[in-house]
Structure 1
Amino acid sequence: LHHEGLRIRLIAPPLLAAGSPVLVDTIHNDAAPVISSSNAKEIPDSYMVVFKKHVSERAATAHHSWVQEAHVSHESRKLELRKRSQVPMSDETVFEGLRHTYNIPGGLLGYAGHFDEGVIELVRRHPDVEYIERDSE
């Protein structure tokens, strides 16, 4: 994918200048990187998640269920905390969770969604996720 190449081009020059061998995975502590376009306006909390090449449609479907459950659980915990602290709900963002799934034969298997940072951190650490891209206009 062209994003992989972009990520390597952005990371490789500083690593080469430093002169020490470093693997891309170690830079992110075994978590998928979150990338964004430097010249586009980001849409807050909106992401596209791309699976690794080995991920099957069945595994992707299971992951979609997992991420939606994680999203609902995270939102429920936040709501409970707001109720306890009596914080007004009007100034809190409501996250939508999973929005779209993608399965382009020979190309892209992934999904897009509107997630809280806590959920994105869980997704980053999932072994089937290659990278996460911030959505942009």
Structure 2
Amino acid sequence: MLFKLSAVALFMASSVVAFPSFIHSERLAPIVTSADADIVPDSYFVVFKSGVRVQDHSAWVQSLHKRDLSVNGIWDSFTNGIKHVYDMDSFQGIAGRFRPDVLEEIRKNPD
């Protein structure tokens, strides 16, 4: 699954203008944001291609978050991690707040 990461504000923004962030690599899923969005730091929507098992990918991201907690401490458990899971016919993905190293792992995932 190739997925796109979007700033939380993109989902809420009505603007149709979007541009890729400077944080892009051929090996990483792009981060997309609206030009006039109010960005919430470290908060993202991870949008899945159709056919992806949301439960499986969510569990994998939770395991990344738990591993990150063991390194960075329990305080992050209150602010970071998956906040919402979306499993609708027209939209599948997760929303959450992710530390940079966790976000990089999510972006590297070929699913």
Any conservation in 1 of the 2:54–2:87 contact (CA below 8 Å)? Answer: no
Deviation (angstroms), 1:122: 0.5
Match for 1:76 among 67, 70, 78? 70
Which residue of structure 2 aligns with residue 42 of structure 1?
Answer: 39
User: Cα gap change, 1:78/1:29 in structure 2, threshold over 3 Å: closer, same or farther?
Assistant: same
After superposition, the C-alpha distances for 1:40-69 in whole angstroms (9 at most, x for unaligned) are 1101111100012231xxx22011111011
In the alignment, residue 80 of structure 2 is paired with which amino acid?
E
Any conservation in 2 of the 1:95–1:116 contact (CA below 8 Å)? Answer: no
- Distance across 2 between alignment mates of 1:6 and 1:126: 27
Q: How many residues align?
A: 94
Structure 2 unmatched ranges of 5 or more: 1-9, 11-15
Q: State the TM-score, normalizing by the size of structure 2.
A: 0.70
Deviation (angstroms), 1:93: 9.5
Mapped pair 1:52 → 2:49? yes
Which residue of structure 2 aligns with residue 16 of structure 1?
Answer: none
What secondary structure sits across from 1:98 in the alignment? strand
Q: State the TM-score, normalizing by the size of structure 1.
A: 0.58
Structure 1 unmatched ranges of 5 or more: 12-26, 81-88, 129-137
Which residue of structure 1 aligns with residue 105 of structure 2?
Answer: 122
- Distance across 1 between alignment mates of 2:77 and 2:85: 23
Which residue of structure 1 aligns with residue 82 of structure 2?
Answer: 98
**For the pair shown, which has the larger CA radius of gyration, 1 or 2?**
1
Deviation (angstroms), 1:6: 6.3
Query: Which structure 2 residues correspond to residues 15-30 of structure 1 after superposition, within 5 A?
Result: 28-30=25-27
What secondary structure sits across from 1:123 in the alignment? helix
User: RMSD of the TM alignment (CA)?
Assistant: 2.8
In the alignment, residue 68 of structure 1 is paired with which amino acid?
Q
Deviation (angstroms), 1:94: 5.5
Identity in percent:
33
